Structure 1
């Protein structure tokens, strides 16, 4: 491996170590309680490196969310939404996708929601996550409209709003925290409720 490639690989591994440490501390002890020095120690780098790589705590949080939003997995789901030809399958696909993302990211998103009112940078990171989800739900609604699958009186904009009401993080938190539903029960219920709300 050439020196340039070694430096590039080291930089990649350092970035991943910092992001992994940041995510662990944010989820385990909260955004406010986490110190850059803790992240640096866990990643085995100097605090200055954490700032250089992520721009501090708010920058690391934003990077974590942007990494998820721009992931190959998300891109694949969007492509499947646009290619879907069966309305029922499309709804099940989106329900499964949002359920999986919530299961993966809910612990971190709790910290984001808690910190957002006091931290503009955290609020911006949360808006990135929300905008990504809204985009996926708008694509879903548009695809259902293109397939002629929406019930009478419902257009794509209305369908996107209904999808948001059922599939946003806040709705998942209500079902998981207030109702105590495990994700599999939530997913089963959504696969019945959403076709009833949306399809002709």
Structure 2
């Protein structure tokens, strides 16, 4: 009786390595898309150009991220999160810091510093979305969605400030949200930083100082932390 033929064990595929490679490819695609969208505009950029810039095939762009409208959304979401994937607002570090800060001045300071870090990434992408919105229905819908989302988040921020009892009594939460919404916009950042040559740090300090003076009932020096 002959011995049974033994099948050699299958070599296990290194799943972590595969995941790392996929993440690196995704980062390359999104970085290429961001560079092209912000430099040339959404309409003028093709998926083929994104693939060439990222050094991958067009099919890889579709497989790792998606079609062009999905690319644009993911470019914005990852610029906002500063990570490879979108992060819900409640899970962002600065949102948690705002909620934990005990005074309105400290909440304002936390948020202003966060915008100074985030706006250099997000403002150029938002400008590209807004430019494309006039000619592209999908971009128009995305622009409206992001504007509404920001407005809703500003109302939550206003409620956080209101809860401290330190806001001016003549300002409603909607007033506070609108003031913050306007000054935290991509347009305001780009005017000051790109047009007037401010640094992002100066922009953040300006927001902190202005919001402290305009929104608080007692904007005492140093109250913003």
Q: Note the alpha carbon deviations across 1:43-96, whole angstroms, 9 max, x for none.
A: 232212222333322210111222335338971111111111121111111111
User: Which range is displaced more, 138-147 or 44-53?
Assistant: 44-53
Between the aligned partners of 2:195 and 2:20, the Cα distance in structure 1 is 45
Number of aligned positions between the proteins: 200
Where 1:151 maps in the other structure, the secondary structure is coil
Pairwise CA distance, 1:147? 0.8
CA 1:24/1:2 → structure 2, altered by over 3 Å: closer, same or farther? farther
Picking from 45, 54, 60, the partner of 1:49 is: 60
Among residues 162, 166, 169, which one is paired with 2:183 in the alignment?
166
Q: Deviations 1:141-165 (Å, cap 9, x if unpaired)?
A: 1111111111122232221112112
Find runs of 4+ consecutive structure 1 residues off by over 6 angstroms: none
Report if aligned partners of 1:65, 1:125 keep a CA contact under 8 Å in 2: no
The equivalent of 1:138 in structure 2 is 155
Match for 1:62 among 63, 73, 90?
73
| Counterparts in 2 of 1:20 and 1:92: CA distance versus 1, 3 Å | same
Name the one with the larger helix percent. Answer: 1
Is 1:71 the counterpart of 2:87? The answer is yes
In 2, Cα distance between equivalents of 1:95 and 1:191: 5
Larger Rg: 2
Distance 1:150 1:2 in 2: 61
Question: Could you tell which deviates more after superposition, 142-151 or 98-107?
Answer: 98-107
**Residue 4 of structure 1: how far off its partner (Å):** 6.2
| TM-score of the superposed pair, with normalisation by structure 1 | 0.84
Question: CA offset at residue 23 of structure 1?
Answer: 1.3
Which one of the candidate residues 77, 97, 106 is aligned to 2:114? 97
Q: 1:59 to 1:31 in 2, by over 3 A?
A: same
> Per the alignment, do residues 30 and 63 of structure 1 end up closer, same or farther by CA in structure 2, a change over 3 Å counting?
same
1:13 aligns with 2:24: yes
User: Unpaired segments of 5 or more residues in structure 2?
Assistant: 1-10, 218-225
Cα deviation for residue 131 of structure 1 reads 4.1
Which whole-Å CA distance do the structure 1 matches of 2:30 and 2:114 have between them?
A: 23
**Alpha-carbon distance between aligned partners in 2 of 1:18 and 1:31, rounded to the nearest angstrom:** 15
> Judging changes above 3 Å, is the alpha-carbon distance between structure 1 residues 166 and 42 closer, same or farther for their aligned structure 2 residues?
closer
